[in-house]
Amino acid sequence: MSDTHSKTHLMKHEVPFGDIFIHAGDFTKCGEMEEVKQFNEWLGLLPHAYKIVIAGNHELSFDPKFTYDGNEISSFGYENDLISNIMEQKDNKKYLTNCIYLEDSMIECYGLKIYGSPWQPVYGGWAFNIPRGQPCLDKWNQIPDGIDILVTHSPPLGHGDHCYSGVRAGCVELLSTVQNRVKPKYHIFGHVHEDYGITTDGQIVYINASTCNLQYLPNNQPIIFDIPLPKGFTKTSP
C-alpha cells in the first residue's frame, strides 16, 4: 500500500492477511503528530508479522531539512498555522511504534532483504525533495546490491509515473539504478496516485501501490504478491 493520507478509516477495501505488510509513504496529509499516532494505532490492528513503512513527501515532520516559507502556502493547501506547528514537531517518527520504519536503511525478513527510501525528485518543495540528476543518484547509490524488495516513495521513470497532465514524473536515476545494478525482484512505490497498478520490464515487477486516487479517495485495492524465500529460510526464520 501507499498514499493513504490519513484515510485508512475510509478505505473501500480491507487489508488482506499476509506475512509482510509494506506501506510506501504518504500515510498522512502533512505529517502532523496526531495523524502519525492515528496511523500507528491502525498499524497495530494489522495481523502481519512484519509491518514495514517509509515516509513520503507529505510527512513534513519526518524530514529535518524541510523548511517552510509562508508565502508558498498555495502550494500546500493547508493553513499557515498548521504548517508552522508541524515545523516544531521534528521527531514525529518516534510515534511509529507498531512497524519497522525504514529511511535509507534495510531490514531482513525471512531471509528477504527489503530496503526503503523516502526521497523523490523535487516537486513543490515538499519533504524529502531533492534535485534531479546527481543528488538523486547519490541517494540511490546508497541502496546495496542483492536487495529482494525495494521500497521507495518515488516511482522510477516509465513505471507507474504517468501523471494526469501527461508528464512522466518518475526518476530516471532511480530507473537506471534499479535495472542496471540493484535488480530487485519487486520495486514498490506510490506518489503518483493516478498511475496505480503493476508493470514489468520482464525482469523486475514494479508496483505503484497508491491507495488514494487522483481525487484523494482511498478506493484502490491493496496489492498482494508472493515471493519465494531464499534457500534455507522458512517463515519460522527471524
CATH of the domain at 190: 3.60.21.10
Average pLDDT, the chain: 93
User: Hey, is 54 helix, strand or coil?
Assistant: coil
Report yes or no on 220 lying in a domain: no
Q: Is residue 157 a part of any domain in this protein?
A: yes
Q: Is 109 helix (H, G, I), strand (E, B) or coil?
A: strand
Q: Is residue 217 part of a domain?
A: no
Confidence of residue 72 (pLDDT cuts 50, 70, 90): low
- Reading the block at residue 47, the C-alpha cell is 495481523
Segments in the chain forming alpha helices (H): 33-45, 80-86, 134-140, 172-177
* 234 lies in some domain: no
In this structure, is residue 235 part of a structural domain?
Answer: no
Rg from Cα positions in the chain: 17
Q: Is residue 222 part of a domain?
A: no
25 alpha carbon, distance to own chain's centre: 3
pTM above 0.85, yes or no: yes
Residue 3 lies in a domain: no
- Percent pLDDT > 90 in the chain is 84
Distance CA(10)–CA(1), nearest Å, equals 14
pLDDT at 63 over 50: yes
Q: Is residue 225 part of a domain?
A: no
Domain count of the chain?
A: 1
> In 3D, which of 158, 150, 95, 104 has the Cα closest to residue 128?
104
pLDDT tens for 105-144 read: 999 999 999 999 999 999 777 899 999 999 999 999 999 9
Q: 113 lies in which domain range?
A: 8-208
Q: Which residues of 61-77 are buried (b: 16+ CB within 10 A; e: fewer)?
A: bbbeebeeeeeeeeebe
Q: How far is CA 18 from the centre of its chain?
A: 19
pLDDT band at 74 (very low <50, low <70, confident <90, very high): very low
